[in-house]
Homo-oligomer: A and B are copies of this chain.
Amino acid sequence: MRFTTLAMAASLLSGSVMAEDKPFAIAIHGGAGTIVADKLTAEQKQAYRTALKEAVDAGHNVLATGGDSLAAVTAAIIILENNPLFNAGKGAVYNFAGGHELDAAIMDGKTMNAGAVAGVTNIANPIKLASAVMLHSPHVMLAGQGAEEFALEQGFSTVTPNYFDTDARKLQWQNAIEKIKQDQQHNKNYQASIHQFTLEDKFGTVGAVALDKQGNLAAGTSTGGMTAKRFGRIGDSPVIGAGTYAENGVCAVSATGHGEYFIRYQVAGDICARVKYQDISIVQAADQVINKRLIKAGGTGGVIAIDHRGNIATPFNTDGMYRATRKNNEDAQVLIWQQE
């Protein structure tokens, strides 16, 4: 009897919570690319899953306790930036010269405000600097030394560039430089070599999108870019509408993949435009762009996308994409490959 009453009370409580509460959800990614299952040890797979779960839970916790989507996105991305498994913050790939140049962007779907930094070398968490650009500067996009001067003015502490060094990324860089040298001996120039890398390399950009209980959407992305990148190359992550976009009532998107295609095809913006103007679902829109338009163009990668009802799409046209989602009071889902 007492048990039944309790169960009824719990059921009523649950019902009232469901009725009162607005949907909230978060999705994160840690990069898409050629992720060959056989090459990852059980320990490595577990390390990725643990990191993804930690990040999605951190963002989810912000949302569950009434925090806003910007804070949730930032909390999740900081964890991924701090983890050397991912190509963002600590663990960023090496550029041609053997250094690290980091890009990041964040967008607030409520205000349509945005902040982005490109080519930053001494800030541990570029997503925080992108937030500062959004909140404390009249500009949207700051690059290179100028962005670092802005960081100093905003009271950011800096790290020495070797903070970003990791053995795994150094090895990737050494292999890349070796290939470029070999290619040069066969009269193949840097441009041709780097084009080949982008097709073979595993990408590791990180990002997050979230819907908070107030109905606000936000998106953020952070990356070390492309191994052996040169000439001050800026990829899609800090380009609003390419790798990062959020608009309340429509959708929020963070992308990962071969950035040049994501810029040319405005991937994040195009997905949201289809939702907005064609009135199709986020799943349909994201699938059309990633699995039809991009594949036709030869662009590889994926996105995480969320709409104003908390529906999530995570399409990718590569072998795998490190990703996790968590909606309302459900458990986290952590995935790497298409079929698991």
Instruction: Check A183 for interface membership: any CB of B closer than 8 A.
Output: no
Q: Which residues of B contact A263 (CB under 8 A)?
A: 114, 140-141, 240-241
Cross-chain contact A139 with B273 (CB below 8 angstroms): no
Instruction: Check A304 for interface membership: any CB of B closer than 8 A.
Output: no
Chain A contacts with B in 129-154, Cβ cutoff 8 A: 136-147, 149-150
Instruction: Check A160 for interface membership: any CB of B closer than 8 A.
Output: no
Smallest Cβ distance from A267 to chain B, in angstroms?
10
Q: Whole-angstrom distance between the alpha carbons of A249 and B147 in the complex?
A: 38
Q: Which residues of B contact A273 (CB under 8 A)?
A: 269-270, 273, 277
Prevailing SS type, chain A contact patch: mixed
Partner of A142 from B150, B194, B198, B234 at Cβ < 8 Å: B234
Cross-chain contact B266 with A195 (CB below 8 angstroms): no
Q: Whole-angstrom distance between the alpha carbons of A143 and B240 in the complex?
A: 16
Smallest Cβ distance from A124 to chain B, in angstroms?
19
Instruction: Check A161 for interface membership: any CB of B closer than 8 A.
Output: no
Instruction: Check A231 for interface membership: any CB of B closer than 8 A.
Output: yes
Instruction: Check A119 for interface membership: any CB of B closer than 8 A.
Output: yes
A-B contact pairs, 11 of them (CB 8 A): A112-B265, A114-B264, A137-B191, A139-B231, A141-B235, A143-B232, A149-B230, A149-B231, A149-B232, A150-B232, A240-B263
